[in-house]
Structure 1
Amino acid sequence: MEVNKENSALIIVDVQNDFLPGGALAVGKGDEVIPVINKVKDKFDLIVATQDWHPANHGSFAANHEGKKVGESISLNGLDQILWPVHCVENSIGADFHKSLDKQNWREVFKKGSNPVVDSYSGFFDNGRKEKTGLGDFLKANGIENVFVTGLAADYCVKFTVLDALDLGFNTYLIADATKGVNLSPNDTLEAFKEMETQGAILVSSSSL
């Protein structure tokens, strides 16, 4: 398919050290998305990224709840919350974008997850959908109609970014070979792909762009 540069944007979700092999919340083979993203970015004039940016006292960290373990669920500010390892703490090396990721010509970076009492998987909103990151308004102000989503992780932050993009009225494409999942359960990524397609996302491969 031909990308219309005038009304299309590439969204790079959370390709940060803590989500890559060796990181605190590593996605299996997550580093394999980097060369794919670097290759497709030249198809776009408008490129944005999201960045997990947590305070050390974030409520989604198991370490901040006595007696709780990673993978357990709690209620956080009225929302169901999976507890994660400490990751992507603001101003840490783990929160940095991977050095192999080509950041040339990025227009904006939208930080998320800074509020300690609510997590933020989506690049557009927190999980309670009460606070906006500004990404949606930025894309609309720049005349964007089509968004192409890449990054980590397919079954969490990428999925919720895709679903919110659809909800906001964008024609939404997932570059399927430019994302990998956490897979707390073995089929989580496959189920996420199905859910995104069911809601209206179009799955494409990088080679088709």
Structure 2
Amino acid sequence: MAKRTALLIIDVQYDFLEGGSLATNDANAVIPIINEIRNKVHFDDVVVSKDWHPKGHCSFASSHPGKALFEDITLPDGTPQKLWPDHCVQGSHGAEVHSDLKLEPTDFVVFKGQHAEIDSYSAFFDNAHKAKTTLQDHLQSKAITDVIVVGIALDYCVCFTAMDAKDLGYTTTVVEDACRGVAPESTAAAVENMKKKGINLIKAETLLG
């Protein structure tokens, strides 16, 4: 099979950026890096993922009276869940992709976390792997063999997406400096886990030459 590569841009949305309800440190710095990658590297397909939560989503601490922000709980179906501030509510400004990010009409948009009872860090599956998004079918329709993953947050949605991509058989690469993580400890653990999985971790300069 001929090599065909997709760029997966994960959750570069206002709520995860400077001033957002779940802002990731220095996250705005990924935007010019991703734009440069898009401008200088050819991809056979580009995918943009968006957290797209209904009001009252199970990942919101506000949906669990008596629970604290960033507390770890177990959902009724047994799935672990960290509790976050309300973020990326469907139709809100915070759920929109930052206007400085280079987008094209041909980009394929994947919505995730749309179901109130289960979160979806990965752009492929919900956290319990009970349901899939539109991403896998789309990549298969484009005969994609390789994926390059960038975006936010490295220790959650980027890592989960990359791990699923590897499990699905894609040659998977994460561009570390085109990502930002929520916390140093979880970011370091995510990087180690991805390396053990056989995921390539590179710097943008490797792609840009």
CA RMSD of superposed structures (Å): 1.2
Residues 58-77 of structure 1: pairs in structure 2 closer than 5 A:
58-76=57-75, 77=77
- Distance of aligned partners of 1:169 and 1:196 in 2 relative to their CA distance in 1, 3 Å threshold: same
- Structure 1 position 52, deviation (Å): 0.0
Is there any run of 5+ residues in structure 2 with no aligned partner, and where?
none
1:206 aligns with 2:204: yes
Residues 123-134 of structure 1: pairs in structure 2 closer than 5 A:
123-134=123-134
Q: Within 1, Cα distance between the matches of 2:204 and 2:72? A: 35
Cα displacement string for residues 37-59 of structure 1 (whole angstroms, at most 9, x for unaligned residues): 00111312311111000001101
Note if contact 1:125-1:131 (Cα within 8 Å) is conserved in structure 2: yes
Partner amino acid, structure 1, of 2:205: S
Q: Within 1, Cα distance between the matches of 2:174 and 2:106? A: 19
Q: Within 1, Cα distance between the matches of 2:171 and 2:112? A: 23
TM-score when scaled to structure 2? 0.94
Match of 1:191 in 2: 189
- Distance of aligned partners of 1:106 and 1:17 in 2 relative to their CA distance in 1, 3 Å threshold: farther
Partner amino acid, structure 1, of 2:32: P
Partner amino acid, structure 1, of 2:127: N
Residues 6-25 of structure 1: pairs in structure 2 closer than 5 A:
7-25=4-22
Q: Within 2, Cα distance between the matches of 1:29 and 1:105? A: 28
Cα displacement string for residues 22-46 of structure 1 (whole angstroms, at most 9, x for unaligned residues): 0000000000000010011131231
Partner amino acid, structure 1, of 2:198: G
Residue 40 of structure 1: which of 19, 37, 40 is its match? 37
What secondary structure is seen at the aligned counterpart in 2 of 1:74?
strand
What secondary structure is seen at the aligned counterpart in 2 of 1:24?
coil
TM-score when scaled to structure 1? 0.94
Q: Within 2, Cα distance between the matches of 1:36 and 1:172? A: 19
Partner amino acid, structure 1, of 2:83: L
1:153 aligns with 2:150: no
Note if contact 1:48-1:106 (Cα within 8 Å) is conserved in structure 2: no
Is there any run of 5+ residues in structure 1 with no aligned partner, and where?
none
Q: Within 1, Cα distance between the matches of 2:202 and 2:127? A: 26
Report how many aligned residue pairs link the two structures: 203
What secondary structure is seen at the aligned counterpart in 2 of 1:155?
helix
Residues 169-180 of structure 1: pairs in structure 2 closer than 5 A:
169-180=169-180
What secondary structure is seen at the aligned counterpart in 2 of 1:26?
coil
What secondary structure is seen at the aligned counterpart in 2 of 1:40?
helix
Residue 23 of structure 2: which of 16, 22, 26 is its match? 26
Partner amino acid, structure 2, of 1:136: Q
- Structure 1 position 73, deviation (Å): 1.6
